[in-house]
Chains A and B, each alone.
Chain A
Amino acid sequence: MLTLQCPYCGVWAEETELHAEGEAHLKRFGPGSDDADFESYLFMRENPKGVHLERWRHASGCGKFFHAARSTTTLEVFGTYAAQTLEPPQDIKDKISAKIPNWSWREFS
């Protein structure tokens, strides 16, 4: 059972206080978008063995959504970061690179 530090209230919360909210950094496509973009927004998800970027919510806590970068194999958490961003911050990317050179996840590496 993993623990993540909520970047908003600073609490190290165990999984029972959190709610998994799926994949991070989805770009919304609305009316006017073509079918392929909309399909990928709705349905296409990463299923990596290794680095994954996710959304979590500190549900039994401050209620804030946040991002987490972790390894799906070792459960190492490279960092948690605010929801109000379109990409993982550089320091977290650096941390991942230090452990897993040449990693990539969607358009990020």
Chain B
Amino acid sequence: MSTRLTTGGRLLNKAKQVTFSFNGKQFTGFEGDTLASALLANDQMMMGRSFKYHRPRGVVASGAEEPNALVNMGQGGKFEPNQRATTTELYDGLTCTSQNHWPSLEFDVGVVNNYVARALPAGFYYKTFMAPAAAWKHVFEPIVRHSAGLGKAPKDRDADRYEHFYAFFDVVVVGGGVAGLMAAKAAGQAGAKVLLMEQTAHWGGRAPVDGGKVDGVKVDDFIDATVAELEAMENVTLRNRMMGAGVYDHGYILGYERLTDHAPLMEGPRHRLWRIRAKQIVTATGAIERPLSFAGNDIPGVMLASAMRDYIVNFGTSSGDRVVVVANNDDAYRTAFTLKIHGLEVPVILDARPNGGGPLADAAREQGFRVENGKGIAKVKGGKRVTSVAICAQAGEGAVLEDIACDAVAMSGGWSPVVHLWSHCGGKLIWDEAQAHFRPDPDRAPTSHDGNPFVVTAGSASGPLKLGDVLVDGQKAGEAAAQAAGFDVTSTNAPKGDVHDEAPLVPCWLMPQGAGPKLRMKAWLDYQNDVKVSDVKLAAQEGYESVEHTKRYTTLGMATDQGKLSNINGLAVLSDALNQPIPATGTTTFRPPYTPISMGAIAGEARDEVFQPLRRTPVHDWHEANGAFFEPVGHWRRPYCFPRGSESHADAVSREIRQTRDSVGLLDASTLGKIIVKGPDAGKFLNMMYTNMMSTLKVGKCRYGLMCNENGFLMDDGVVARIDEDTFLCHTTTGGAERIHGWMEDWLQCEWWDWQVYTANVTEQYAQIAVVGPNARKVIEKLGGEMDVSKEGLAFMEWKDGKIGEFDARAYRISFSGELSYEIAVPASQGRAFWDALLEAGEEFGIMPYGTEALHVMRAEKGFIMIGDETDGTVIPQDLNMQWAISKKKDDFLGKRAQMRDHMASEDRWKLAGFETEDGSVIPDGAYIVDHGTNANGQRNTQGRVTSSYYSPSLDRGIAMGLIHGGMKRLGDVVEFNKVDGSTVKAKVVDPVFYDKDGEKQNV
């Protein structure tokens, strides 16, 4: 039984009982418990089932490395799967369920996998789900989907809020154990701006559990005093419940702060992701104990020796009444002592080393423990709980010497430094033969922007495990980091901590070392993913020699714990199978984050309304209030149409077009890009930017221009107005404003930096409203003001500044619809008022706003091209019959050279024409013009494609523009466009100008 003890529990507040529920059952615990310790205290050792075989699983560890005790936490909008019970602080009202079982934790159908485990070896899925291909959809995929994934995916919207926080430090110390405290203090004393973060709620790490003295005082008191000292230092920031999630290039480090996980009713963000730049990073991330690989090492009740100690000292919780201790090192003896002090029984300590342990072992014998040298566990017996262990000689093959009844096993296979953060950005490791672990190689640290190392390890994360050594290493690391960050350091002596004599560890990768296949099949390496010694051996046998391949083939170390427990043992088994030393096998890659972090924290504030910035025009509120149906254009939202009542979008578009063509319509064109280009060389510059000759444009006039990239392809278009001798105003497409401004700056800054030209993007300075239709002039004249907008006063393709009504306006007499049209720019802050004034003035003409779809249809009726419809990044102006817009007088413009290339000048290019279906229907968007025969892939040959296709209300029929082999030479031909249903529709090649071919309507 695991139970609450009357002793121990230094982190508990026994005065404060809390209630929580696990699988619907109510339990109690104390403030200060973790979920794992509280479950243990309630004798709930079994906390989940494994991924593949659905074997019963209990808690193994006490921290971030826990592979088994994962739960579905919370409900509704606070539901989250795969939460580690060992790192979840208990709070009143906590609700959770165990994972990976059906219908219940105690009785699980999926456990049948366990009984056929022999048939589910490594690579089972790869080997099985091969052929026939048809089986994928109906058989394999459903099976894989059903069995994939731990926990449940949340169904509700996340009810919490999250945020980011940018911070800058000289030195960031990760890990608030004694090494981290020492490092932070040393760096802080040197004057560095320091952040010390600790993933748990407590300072000091394992030291209070392991005990010992520092400068003659209890280590607990030393920790308290050091924390107090750090808190008093203005240049040091301390943050607990904050994990160093990842180390990245140039001193970038992510701190994952969990603000309300321990108190979900607290106001404020749940997680805060600190995006930190540090000159130096100290990783004082400690070490993790390794399990031992013996048969049945996954049965609930088998735990890490250190974890068992943690549960007693920190949480006053036993893991069992009779505990067998099995180890290959001296540290596990401390667990035996702790168990005894707290009144629990240790029937035997199995020391796998032939010559046993050092002074701690001697002390154990003196205290009356039964210690067996050179012995190990042949097999743990039990199902949902350990019932006994069979002991054997470590050197043998597992012949049982004795059966010892017990309800828990404390195992220790030695310690591995937590090297993740060191390794994330390229820090290299060396194999330490004596400790049998990989540790950071200080000579091969990750390097930063200046080529110098920026990560230092401290304490157990460097290798040393003894208190005194850890303190010295922590101090050294803090000093080194401060110095590297540019501070003067006067080195001082670290406080003196205990350095007990210990006998060396003897590596023990399989127990017993000669274990046969039957035992190996029950010796777990990766608890979460059900990878056993036998699987890794099989992978090696099948040729998976690279550790990275073996990982993927067996799934060793691929689960949410990323092999924190299993890695080294797995590598050792693989090395043994390959008959090569461990360093030759190497490790898999350590990738951030250290433990999984929430998706919410990654998104930060970017959700809901502010998921993405929305750009709104000065008239946006009116559009919204008047039922506009919006479409996104870049980050802008533009009205697509303004449906009235139950009107369909198509009907609304037709109404808007008819009203505009018959009387007058309004378009909010504020989103069009507007760039001022000014300087003595502005004309020369625009001659390069546009295919047209812009330098000859007269002041007061407008010219439509095309822009190409250096590949010759069309990239933007718009109307250019010459404001004065030195100044032009260039209009761009809505999506093009920032891009084209950057494009201009690129050429000015990087190529023609001696040309005297300045640009300014003034897109948002103006609300620009197009007043369009036969009655447009009357509406504007009705507003009054001094501006003469008559046919003569403001001729087609002219612009003018002046007052329209009470508004400061600039009117452009340009048309994208073929109608009499004025585009009028007023200061943005008067835009809404101007819009309202136009609506009022136009009331007698039945004025109505139109949206982007009406704009598109009207321009298509006139055969005007649209960037993004007629162009797709592979179309040159010549393809669109726009030779008229390409100056022949200019020696050079961007794209000219490319347009001279053979392929660009080829007669075989598809060119623009208009199309009318014989039946008047609308050609589907994206349709191709089919041709005779098939290509090499057996696909129908094509000879062109549609680029714009609409129902034209003005003509009451479908109209289209498209690119066709031969272009306008094909006038009168009848071609076939394919349709979605596989049939085709016949269409005649026609002039793309469908409406008012002579342009009379715009010239009134």
Contact = CB atoms under 8 A, between A and B. Distances in A.
Interface string A37-72: 010011000000000000101010001110000000
B451 A99 contact: yes
Interface in B735-785: 742, 745-746, 749-751, 753
A33 B900 CA distance: 11
29 contacts: A1-B248, A1-B252, A3-B250, A3-B252, A3-B449, A31-B891, A31-B892, A31-B900, A33-B897, A35-B901, A41-B710, A42-B898, A55-B750, A57-B746, A59-B742, A64-B749, A65-B750, A74-B447, A74-B451, A75-B249, A75-B250, A75-B449, A76-B449, A76-B450, A77-B450, A83-B753, A84-B749, A84-B750, A84-B753
A30 B892 contact: yes
A36 interface: no
Interface in B443-485: 447-451
Contact of B447 (A3, A55, A76, A84): A76
Contact of B896 (A14, A21, A31, A99): A31
B897 A76 contact: no
Contacts of B513: none
A28 interface: yes
B745 A63 contact: yes
Pairs of residues from A and B, 4 with the lowest C-beta to C-beta distance, nearest first: A76-B451, A84-B753, A77-B449, A83-B750
A65 B897 contact: no
Contacts of A76: 447-451
Interface of A: 1-3, 14, 21, 28-33, 35, 38, 41-42, 55, 57, 59, 63-65, 74-77, 83-84, 99
Nearest to A35: B901
B897 A30 contact: yes
Given A31-B892, A75-B449, A76-B448, 11 more contacts: A1-B250, A2-B249, A14-B277, A28-B710, A31-B896, A33-B897, A42-B711, A63-B745, A75-B250, A76-B449, A83-B749
A31 to B, nearest CB: 5
Nearest to B746: A65
Interface of B: 248-252, 277, 447-451, 710-711, 742, 745-746, 749-751, 753, 891-892, 896-898, 900-901
Contacts of A31: 891-892, 896-897, 900
Given A3-B449, A21-B746, A38 B252 contact: no
Contacts of A14: 252, 277
A96 to B, nearest CB: 11
B749 A38 contact: no
Contacts of A2: 249-250, 449
A35 B896 CA distance: 13
Contacts of B277: 3, 14
A75 B745 CA distance: 28
B897 A29 contact: yes
Contacts of A33: 897
Nearest to B709: A42
Contact of A30 (B251, B448, B749, B896): B896
Contacts of A38: 897-898, 901
A57 B711 CA distance: 22
A30 B752 CA distance: 14
A32 B892 CA distance: 9
B708 to A, nearest CB: 13
Nearest to B891: A31
Contacts of A55: 750
A13 to B, nearest CB: 11
A30 to B, nearest CB: 5
A75 B5 CA distance: 54
Q: Which of B448, B451, B746 has the most CB of A within 10 A?
A: B451
B371 to A, nearest CB: 51
A35 B898 CA distance: 10
B67 to A, nearest CB: 31
A1 B451 CA distance: 15
Contacts of A32: 897
A64 B748 CA distance: 10
Contacts of B451: 74, 76, 99
Contacts of B898: 38, 42
A65 B747 CA distance: 10
Nearest to B168: A12
Nearest to A71: B451
A26 B968 CA distance: 39
B104 to A, nearest CB: 46
A59 B447 CA distance: 27
B791 to A, nearest CB: 41
A102 B249 CA distance: 26
A31 B897 CA distance: 5
A74 B427 CA distance: 12
Contacts of A1: 248-250, 252
Contacts of A75: 249-250, 449
